[in-house]
Amino acid sequence: MATLQERVIAVTARVLRMEPATIRPEHHFAKDLGAESIQSVELVANFEEEFGIEMDEDAALSVSTVGGAVDFIGKVCAEQGVAV
Amino acid sequence: MSESRTRPFPLVDRTDPNLLEETFDYSLPPLIRFDGPIIEYVEGKPVQFDPKALKTRELVITDTTFRDGQQARPPYTIEQMVHIYDLLAKLGGPNGVIRQTEFFLYTRNDRETLDRCRALGHRYPECTGWIRANSMDDFRLVQENKLTETGLLTSCSDYHIFNKLKFKSRKECMDRYCQVVDAAFSAGIRPRCHLEDITRADVEGFVFPFVERLMRMSEQVPEKLSVKVRMCDTMGFGLTYPGAELPRSVPKLVYKMNQEVGVPSSRLEWHGHNDFHKVHVNAATAWLYGCDALNSTLFGFGERTGNPPLEGAVFEYIALRGDLCGIRTEAITELAEYMRSIGLPIAENYPFVGRGFNTTQAGIHAGGLRQDERIYNIFDTTALLGRPPRVSLTDKSGADGVAHWINEFFGLKGDQRISKIKMHKVARWVFDQYEVHGRLTAISDQEMEAKVRELMPDYWARHKGQ
């Protein structure tokens, strides 16, 4: 079964149309992966769908790196009782 | 060496915002507040004006939509004028902030319009006339129509006196004007002398002597007949800057008329034109310096570049007084909708009534609106004009713009508002219109409505039903 980080990277790769293997936790969504404003929104929407969670919009959009997203989603999943 | 005037400005740190709400009370247009007297140098001597007097003087707005306003367009029908008059009465409220409006009297239609407007039974705006007064018969028209006041054209620059009216001397001109004023008195009609082209006139050599004579003549008649003086900045030459010279200085013109020639504020009126984009501020400045009546037209529509916009004067009035004073500002929107319906063009970006006056296109502004509409809206336009702030969707709108549009469309406020995360498919569609399809036009409300229905069916069902 895929880990939380692998799932976050898979969603990121799908939304940003990249190869998963090129994405690392320290990558910044905008600066390193080229995510535009609209794609940031799409990333959050796809993370919600992937994990079955609801995220606070402002907090979610303030996460800037892939690793940060893994930590943030892990926390939200724990708060909302979603197993990952 | 001059001494440095700089001083330290230490940061006043705080953790809550200071929104300056004593000025920017969102329920009103931003208040115009003064922190001291206004000083203008007249003939080298400082003269003080007390802005606090603006709260107590009987400032009024007068209207010339049916006279100057109509000189710039094909005639209104009787029905149209009656409807506009009715809405002006509603807008000005029971205190008569819109105090008077003036009518031509020359044709049967002019006179029927006047009768039908009066038949509505509104106390305000009072109906007055406007005549050329070339012939004494004109006063018969005023009398027969039972009007108590009429405007008379008394052009006062030498451009008019000599080059247009062909008088042989200023004295001949002044005598002729005074004959006409006498005729008005004899007919029991209050004359309102329209000093056409005053900002290009020899004020010391003709205007002030003429008005001084009018004031002396007024002393011989009952107060209700005493002459009113309308200062007409016919070519829009007026200036508000301190230190500007006569005849272009609005402050000095008003001051001298009021304090030196002796025309009471209540009998002084300012009528401007917008040839140099100064029309509204010139008129409001006349208010400030002692002229009680500001003459205007709806949406500034008038000869050439137009007149002071009445709706601008209404918001200026509220901002100076700090109170609505019975004014029903929502009638401004009704008037604009009506004017559009009868073919009067109003620019998209025209203040207060243009279709886009409180519509933002930039995503960063839409983001601000989404968080707190006060950030990018001038006042509570929903309450005062029935016009909530909107976003127009283009390539600059971003997801914030889409979110604002959708929440406004569903009528959602506060915690009910849908986050932009939930509308990412619509935002993507908007984005692709420009990035993928190379669109160059804004997205219409109809297109957005269809897309929201298609891409957000659950929300559509919840908020719009089936």
| Dist CA B110 CA B95 (whole Å) | 27
The angle subtended at Cα B92 by Cα B88 and Cα B98, nearest 5°, is 85
DSSP B303-345: STT---BHHHHHHHHHHHHTS-TT--THHHHHHHHHHHHTT--
Is the Cβ of B151 closer than 8 Å to some Cβ of chain A? no
Comparing alpha-carbon positions, the chain B residue that sits nearest to A42 is: B424
CA-based nearest distance B421→chain A, Å: 5
What are the residue boundaries of the structural domains of chain B, listed by start?
38-341, 359-464
Q: Which residues of B436-465 are buried (b: 16+ CB within 10 A; e: fewer)?
A: eeeeeebbeeeebeebbeebbeebbeebee
Is A42's CB within 8 Å of B431's CB? no
Work out the number of other CB atoms within 10 angstroms of the CB of residue B428: 20
Q: Cβ contacts (< 8 Å) between A57 and chain B: which residues?
A: 419-421
CA-based nearest distance A36→chain B, Å: 10
**Local structure of residue B21 (DSSP, 8 states):** T
Beta bridge partners of B127: B101
Tokens 């819109």: give the residue: B98
Q: pLDDT 10s per residue in chain B (466 long)?
A: 556 789 999 999 999 999 999 999 999 999 999 999 999 999 999 999 999 999 999 999 999 999 988 888 888 999 999 999 999 999 999 999 999 999 999 899 999 999 999 999 999 999 999 988 777 778 888 999 999 999 999 999 999 999 999 999 999 999 999 999 999 999 999 999 999 999 999 999 999 999 999 999 999 999 999 999 999 999 999 999 999 999 999 999 999 999 999 999 999 999 999 999 999 999 999 999 999 999 999 999 999 999 999 999 999 999 999 999 999 999 999 999 999 999 999 998 999 999 889 988 776 676 777 778 899 999 999 999 999 988 888 888 889 889 989 998 898 888 899 999 999 999 999 999 999 998 888 888 889 999 999 999 999 999 987 5
- The answer to whether B104 and B69 are in contact (CB under 8 A) is no
Q: For chain B, give the longest Cα–Cα distance.
A: 82
Q: Which runs of consecutive H residues, i.e. helices, occur in B65-169?
A: 78-92, 108-119, 137-144, 158
What residues of A are in the B interface, CB distance below 8 Å? 37-38, 41-42, 44-45, 48, 55, 57, 60
Comparing alpha-carbon positions, the chain B residue that sits nearest to A58 is: B419
Tokens 């309450």: give the residue: B383
Work out the number of other CB atoms within 10 angstroms of the CB of residue B220: 10
Is A57's CB within 8 Å of B427's CB? no
pTM of the model: 0.85
DSSP B225-245: GSPEEEEE-TTS--B-STTPP
Beta bridge partners of B76: none
| Dist CA B154 CA B175 (whole Å) | 11
Considering CB atoms only, which of A48, A55, A57 is closest to B420?
A57
Query: Does residue A36 form part of some domain?
Result: yes
**Local structure of residue B436 (DSSP, 8 states):** T
Is B421's CB within 8 Å of A37's CB? no
Is the Cβ of B367 closer than 8 Å to some Cβ of chain A? no
Number of domain units in chain A: 1
- Measured in degrees and rounded to the nearest 5, phi and psi for residue B13 equal -75, 145
CATH for A24: 1.10.1200.10
Is B420's CB within 8 Å of A38's CB? no
Is the Cβ of B12 closer than 8 Å to some Cβ of chain A? no
The angle subtended at Cα B112 by Cα B110 and Cα B116, nearest 5°, is 120
Can you state the percent helix, strand and coil of chain A, rounding each to 5?
Answer: 60, 0, 40
Specify burial of residue B16 (Cβ count, 10 A radius: 0-12, 13-18, 19+): exposed
Is the Cβ of B420 closer than 8 Å to some Cβ of chain A? yes
Beta bridge partners of B391: B360
**Local structure of residue B136 (DSSP, 8 states):** T
Query: Does residue A84 form part of some domain?
Result: no
The token pair that represents B236 in the structure block: 């829009």
Work out the number of other CB atoms within 10 angstroms of the CB of residue B148: 15
Across all residues in chain A, what is the average pLDDT? 95
- CATH entry 3.30.30.60 includes domain B38-341: no
| Dist CA B303 CA B204 (whole Å) | 28
Tens digits of residue pLDDT in A13-40 = 999 999 999 999 999 999 999 999 899 9
| Dist CA B340 CA B334 (whole Å) | 10
Is A38's CB within 8 Å of B419's CB? no
Comparing alpha-carbon positions, the chain A residue that sits nearest to B430 is: A38
Specify burial of residue B411 (Cβ count, 10 A radius: 0-12, 13-18, 19+): exposed
| Dist CA B395 CA B386 (whole Å) | 28
Predicted pLDDT at B224: 97
Query: Does residue A47 form part of some domain?
Result: yes
Q: A60 lies in which domain range? A: 4-79
Is A38's CB within 8 Å of B399's CB? yes
| Dist CA B420 CA B366 (whole Å) | 12
Considering CB atoms only, which of B421, B428, B431 is closest to A44?
B421
Q: Cβ contacts (< 8 Å) between B419 and chain A: which residues?
A: 57
